[in-house]
Structure 1
Amino acid sequence: MSETKTALVTGANKGIGYEIAAGLGALGYRVGVGARDAARLETAVEKLRAAGVEAFGVPLDVTDDRSVADAAGTLDRLDILVNNAGISGPMGPGWEQDPTALDLDVVRTVVETNVIGVIRVTNAMLPLLRRSASPRIVNVSSSVASLTRQADPAIAIGPIMAAYSPSKSFLNAVTVHYARQFAGTDILINAVCPGLVATDFTGFLGRTPQEGAAVAIRYATLPDGGPTGTFAEDGGVVPW
């Protein structure tokens, strides 16, 4: 009998991350719930276990080298990594981030989590992923990362978010370069957009977290030979 495959989802104690963990668990994966808040982590793991998921907690702060290294050291195998943890940074009136008035420390903090944190976690987990027969990496991005959409006044969506949106564009670019690095290997890496989802991140506007999680789950469980280096949402490919 083959061993149960293991997934790790960062920022999985609530919202989209929790539902990604729940969805992968329902498919039979053993799921590591990555989160930095110990109490919320324990609550999420207990809730997942009550739903029949083989879940375990992984204390993980994606902005901290030691925390990430320690998290990698607790795992005996890894088949799926979902880099879901992310922050928007403070918003101004109208839920906007005015580029002409941005606090540079806000930009640094957002990039540290949304981009550098993904690189930090991915590289720490690579030795485990390389031992998997079908390793998958999913980076949770956003449609507001699309330069094509944001630059076209006719289709630009959402408010101006001059820290958050560029951080996700940066993440998309990093995803492409990982895909190039992994070309010819079994590692598939893609960026996905869950859409506007009703969580505390959006002021609880949008569709359900379960609906938002679906695209990440789909790309986390791609068959061998599936797409890599893409940016996708429910309706298909998102323009860069």
Structure 2
Amino acid sequence: MSNTDKVALVTGATRGIGRETVRQLAEAGVHTILAGRNRDKAVEAALELQAKGLPVEAVALDVTDPASIAAAAKEIEQRHGKLDILVNNAGILVDDPAKGVSGQSLQTWRTTFDTNLFGLVETTQAFLPLLRKSEAGRIVNVSSLLGSISEHQNPASFIYEFKGVPAYNVSKSAVNAWTVHLAHELKDTGIKVNTIHPGYVQTDMNKSGDQQNGELSVPEGARTSVQLALIGNDGPTGGYFYFDQVLPW
């Protein structure tokens, strides 16, 4: 199956890693749907990529809104009849690091999980019927090394002391667990499911006031998602990756 025959959907794609994932998939020839909560912003971002000759279109999709998810799934089914790649990129970080692990409000936990886990699960459930119509469906869940329980317990890891955003960290651990379970359910189908760490990327999420933090550029941060989205039939499923490195759960 050539890339030009594939249809991809990337959530949370109006900026940052999501938008760059759209660009890289489209540059590889994949017809890519750029999804964002705000339709106008999604259309604007898609038009900018179309102006560069890339096969991109827009859809409104808020992963915290069941009606929005259902409408997007219906719209894509009507336009394309299938989906080959789903990149669950949408995510938020709303913890207050000054409050530590036990001080985060329950609302912070609920808000974080509504987007990072429950929205991801519901979006995946909604698009699975279209992915089952693909010859080689691919699901990529954007997680983080901060979701690795092993690394949080490893004093030699640079995330060992990084406990100030617990709702975010635990939501990504849950995404990893969901990935393992879904991959197992789909192991006898053509659909492969993996989770990835994009790296410590120079995005708005990693800004401290006017200070831009991060080790990787945004294009580098999108590479692992794109790599897993385009794996062949001999590629992995149920894995946790950073570029070509297999990460510890």
Partner of 1:205: 213
Deviations 1:52-92 (A, max 9, x none): 21111110000111100000001122100000000011323
- C-alpha distance in 1, partners of 2:139/2:90? 14
Partner of 1:8: 9
Q: TM-score, normalised by structure 2?
A: 0.91
Kindly provide the amino acid, as one letter, of the partner of residue 215 in structure 1. T
Shift of 1:205: 1.6
- Would you say 1:129 and 2:131 are equivalent positions? yes
Partner of 1:65: 66
Contact residue 43 and residue 59 of structure 2 kept, 8 A: no
- Would you say 1:229 and 2:248 are equivalent positions? no
Shift of 1:163: 0.5
Which 10-residue stretch deviates more, 44-53 or 133-142?
A: 44-53
Shift of 1:159: 2.6
Which 10-residue stretch deviates more, 172-181 or 37-46?
A: 37-46
Partner of 2:197: 193
The equivalences for 1:19-58 within 5 A come to 19-58=20-59
Instruction: Give the % identical residues.
Output: 41
Partner of 2:92: 87
Gaps of 5+ in 2: none
Shift of 1:225: 2.5
Q: TM-score, normalised by structure 1?
A: 0.95
**Which secondary structure state, in structure 2, belongs to the residue aligned with residue 101 of structure 1?**
coil
Residues 235 and 228 (structure 1 numbering): CA distance in 2 closer, same or farther, change over 3 Å? closer
Contact residue 151 and residue 157 of structure 2 kept, 8 A: yes
Shift of 1:183: 1.1
Kindly provide the amino acid, as one letter, of the partner of residue 203 in structure 2. T
Aligned residues: 237
Partner of 1:174: 178
Shift of 1:156: 4.2
Shift of 1:51: 1.9
CA-atom RMSD, angstroms? Answer: 1.5
Partner of 1:149: 151
Shift of 1:228: 0.2
Gaps of 5+ in 1: none
Kindly provide the amino acid, as one letter, of the partner of residue 106 in structure 2. L
The equivalences for 1:97-136 within 5 A come to 98-136=100-138
- C-alpha distance in 1, partners of 2:201/2:122? 26
Which 10-residue stretch deviates more, 212-221 or 146-155?
A: 146-155
**Which secondary structure state, in structure 1, belongs to the residue aligned with residue 115 of structure 2?**
helix
**Which secondary structure state, in structure 2, belongs to the residue aligned with residue 163 of structure 1?**
helix
- C-alpha distance in 1, partners of 2:126/2:186? 15
**Which secondary structure state, in structure 1, belongs to the residue aligned with residue 59 of structure 2?**
strand
Which 10-residue stretch deviates more, 185-194 or 49-58?
A: 49-58
Shift of 1:235: 4.6
Kindly report structure 1 stretches of 4+ aligned residues shifted beyond 6 Å. none
**Which secondary structure state, in structure 1, belongs to the residue aligned with residue 102 of structure 2?**
helix
Shift of 1:40: 2.0
Shift of 1:13: 0.5
- C-alpha distance in 2, partners of 1:120/1:103? 24
Contact residue 95 and residue 168 of structure 2 kept, 8 A: no
**Which secondary structure state, in structure 2, belongs to the residue aligned with residue 72 of structure 1?**
helix
